[in-house]
Structure 1
Amino acid sequence: MRILIVGAGSTGGFFGAKLAKAGRDVTFLVRPQRLSQLEQNGLSVRSAAGDIDIEPQLITAAQLHSTFDIVLVAVKAYALDSALNDMIPAVGSNTVILPLLNGMRHMELLAEKFGKDRLLGCACKVATSLDESGRIVQQGTFNDIAYGELDGSDSERVANVHEFMRDAGFDAKTSKTISRDMWEKWTLLAAMGSINCLMRGSIGDVVSVKGGREFSEGVIDEVVSIIQAVGCQLSEPFLAEARRLLTLEGSPQTSSMYRDLIAGRAIEADQIIGDLLVRASAKGLEAPILTLVYSNLLVYKAQLPN
């Protein structure tokens, strides 16, 4: 099987490097700037689990003329629109699309473009970033990816994808509850991103100050109420663990959106917070804390250089 990874940033590059090192046929679809960087320096991952340095197979949109068995979409959500057009030649009648993006809007956009029958649900958990030289740096040790049919059924294509992904240096698994997994991930991202970004600190920083824990609890309650109204019923074990993680004293944990904000980079405010507010409004739900968070993030976005 052949996989095309759309984007060779911190997430796509991480999983792609692992797959390539394990001997899989991996090609990265990249923009000219990233192409130049990777051609010059190669693709490097720095991790406590072991470093990886490979010479990746690279292709640009202008050079893409054949289909792939798997297309792993690993761009930031704000770059999806252009990626949808770039990847068109790679999607054939039997191609499986695995999206690693945050939120849920991307699933609707991919289904509109390529048909819902091309999609598997997919959720990954990994904390990575790019350093100044373009190397991928992993924070922590977790590197999980799960995938499955959106209706929870077994299928040959899920089995084939799993055969391709397994034993490649990360935790790969099939899931019969992948839709709920994705909604649960969005819950964590929206709540943690709101706490970190509005308060400009880690989870531990926030809960250590007067009113911080109460603020965090309010964010969690608001996000959960929206997700359960517009998405699905979240599991009790997930809710208990999410509340524990998001109010944990001394926790250094921050969201990727917060790390991007602190670094002065573009952020996924519209996809993680804005889209949640759109869905809440459609259900007649009020979300005062998330509304404040979103306004704060929009001010930040407006101040970014073009």
Structure 2
Amino acid sequence: MNVAVFGAGGIGGYLGARLADAGHEVHLVARGDHLAAIRADGLRVESVAGDTAVELPATDDPSEIGAVDYVLFCVKSHDTREAAADLEPLLGDDTAVVSFQNGVDNERWLAEEVGESRVVGGVAYIFSTIAEPGVVEHTGGPARFVYGELDDARTARIETLDGALRSCAGIEAVLADDIHVELWRKFAFICAHSGMTAATRLPVGEIRAHEESWRMYRRIVEEVCAVARANGVALPDDTAAEWVEFARDLDPDSYSSLHYDLTHEKAMELDGLNAAVVRHAEGTDVDVPMNEAVTAVLRPWAERFADR
């Protein structure tokens, strides 16, 4: 399988290295110091599931790669539209663009640029980041990747992707029955975990230790689930309870990528997370005061760091 990883950061770099180890042809699209380090010394993955190091072609110019079978699209949600406009050199007649991003809007934004028939939805459950240029660190999470066609069809291309990901060590691969349920299911958790750790600038253990803060965390999950159902997504009834139990058992020192971006003065995914909940609640009968509060608290910071 010939794959281009567009955005070789914590998620994309991890996927690219694991696919390369399984014998697939992988090209990385990266930028800045990370790209320079990969070109000079290769990509290293330090992982709780086992370390690896790979030498892979890497570029910031997709035209140097050409058409591939699959594009694994792993950029931050606020970069989706701009990055999607750069995909054309990677697209052949049958190329699939697979989004492994935070949020529930990326697939639609991608489809507006490359056509809905090319887009495959995906969800990543992994705590990984760029520890330093050329190094991806996977510190936890099951490294579970869930994916599916937007119409939930069992196509040849989704089964080929499924087979490729199942062939990789260090990856739990899951072909979804309903990818929209999976997207919103993760969204419910990440809005609470990201929003609260960023807004408080504290790890989840301290949030759990204060009943008012822990109640707000739980209410964010519940609000997202209610918005999903109001928009026709058939989330299971126990989704909120499952995420609350999951969060109750998380390492007390657990933060989030949104917290990382805030504290490192980087562009933030607020508009793809809590602010998106507020947008999707418009026109429904669901009130989302907790998501509105997180959005209001983080908006000045998101605007301050928007161009970084």
Distance in structure 2 (CA, Å) of the matches to 1:210 and 1:72: 40
The structural deviation recorded for 1:231 is 4.9
Quote how far apart the aligned CAs of 1:267 are: 1.4
* 8 Å Cα contact 2:188-2:220 kept in structure 1: no
Partner of 1:43: 43
In structure 2, the partner of 1:209 is 210
Check whether the contact 1:207–1:249 (CA below 8 A) recurs between aligned residues.
Answer: no
1:300 matched residue in structure 2: 301
Residues in 2 aligned to 1:185 and 1:241: alpha-carbon distance in whole angstroms? 11
Distance 1:242 1:269 in 2: 20
Amino acid of the structure 2 residue aligned with 1:38: I
> How has the CA–CA distance of structure 1 residues 229 and 247 changed in structure 2, closer, same or farther, with 3 Å as cutoff?
farther
Partner of 2:91: 91
**Is contact 2:62–2:89 with CA below 8 Å preserved after alignment?**
no
Alignment check: 8 A CA contact 2:145 2:172 kept: yes
Deviation at 1:28, TM superposition (A): 0.9
Q: How does 1:286-297 map to 2 (within 5 A)?
A: 286-297=287-298
1:29-86, CA deviations, whole angstroms, 9 ceiling, x for partnerless residues?
Answer: 2235432221123211111222111111113326436211111101111122221122
SS of the equivalent of 2:68 reads: coil
Deviation at 1:247, TM superposition (A): 4.2
What does residue 231 of structure 2 align with? 230
Q: Percent identity?
A: 25
- How many residue pairs were aligned? 306
Greater alpha carbon shift after TM alignment, 199-208 vs 106-115: 199-208
Q: How does 1:213-292 map to 2 (within 5 A)?
A: 213-248=214-249, 251-283=252-284, 285-292=286-293
In the alignment, is the contact (CA less than 8 A) between 1:111 and 1:119 conserved in 2?
Answer: yes
Query: Helix, strand or coil for the counterpart of 1:4?
Result: strand
Q: In the TM superposition, what is the alpha-carbon distance from 1:237 to its structure 2 partner?
A: 4.1
Contact 1:207–1:248 (CA<8 Å) still a contact in 2?
no
Q: Does 1:26 align with 2:31?
A: no
TM-score, normalising length: structure 1: 0.92
* CA distance in 2: counterparts of 1:62 and 1:101, whole angstroms: 19
Structure 2 length normalisation: TM-score? 0.91
CA distance in 2, matches of 1:275, 1:105: 8
Question: What is the match of residue 105 of structure 2?
Answer: 105
- 1:204-254 Cα distance to aligned partner (Å, 9 max, x none): 211212423322232222222222212513113433211212345873333
1:65-84 alignment runs, 5 A limit: 66-84=66-84
Larger strand percent: 2
Task: State the one-letter code of the partner of 1:168.
Answer: C
**What is the alpha-carbon distance in structure 2 between the residues aligned to residue 249 and residue 65 of structure 1?**
40
Secondary structure of the 2:146 match is: strand
Q: Does structure 1 conserve the Cα–Cα contact (< 8 Å) formed by 2:96 and 2:120?
A: yes
Superposition deviation, residue 148 in structure 1: 1.6
One-letter amino acid of the structure 1 residue matched with residue 191 of structure 2? A
Indicate the residue corresponding to 2:159 in structure 1: 159
Q: Report if aligned partners of 1:203, 1:253 keep a CA contact under 8 Å in 2.
A: yes
Letter in 2 for 1:125: Y
Structure 1: runs of 5 or more not aligned? none
Which stretch of the first structure deviates more once superposed, 108-117 or 215-224?
A: 215-224
What is residue 121 of structure 2 aligned with on the other side?
121
Contact 1:146–1:172 (CA<8 Å) still a contact in 2? Answer: yes
Q: How far is the alpha carbon of 1:284 from its aligned partner?
A: 5.2
- Cα displacement (A) at 1:141: 5.0
Matches of 1:196 and 1:65, distance apart in 2: 38
